[in-house]
């Protein structure tokens, strides 16, 4: 799990943090949350998820699991 966290923070720093200036901790916190929810989870393609954003990959997985649990027609 540590490798996952290290990978995430590496992307956060290179794609976002090093390109920004913040006027306060609140501004930094808000901007980081916007990056995570608006870009990283919703739109950023992930190679391990088949090029899908994490939210889309999770949704597809949930849909697949739901279909697998539906009873077969009699």
| pLDDT digit string, tens, across residues 15-36 | 898 999 999 999 999 999 998 9
CA dist 46 and 55 (Å) reads: 10
Both structure tokens of 13: 């720093």
The Cβ-side half-sphere exposure at 72, using a 13 Å CA radius, reads 1
Q: Which helix (H) or strand (E) holds 12?
A: helix 2-15
CA dist 62 and 48 (Å) reads: 17
Percent of the chain with pLDDT over 90: 35
Where the chain has pLDDT below 70, the residues are 67-74
Q: Are 18 and 2 in contact (CB under 8 A)?
A: no
């Amino acid at each position: 799990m540590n490798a996952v966290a290290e990978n995430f923070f590496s992307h956060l720093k290179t794609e976002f943090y090093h390109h920004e200036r913040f006027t306060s901790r609140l501004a930094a916190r808000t901007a980081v949350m916007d990056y995570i929810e608006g870009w990283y989870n919703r739109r950023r393609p992930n190679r391990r998820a088949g090029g899908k954003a994490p939210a889309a990959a999770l949704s597809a997985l949930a849909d697949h699991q739901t279909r697998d649990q539906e009873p077969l027609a009699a």
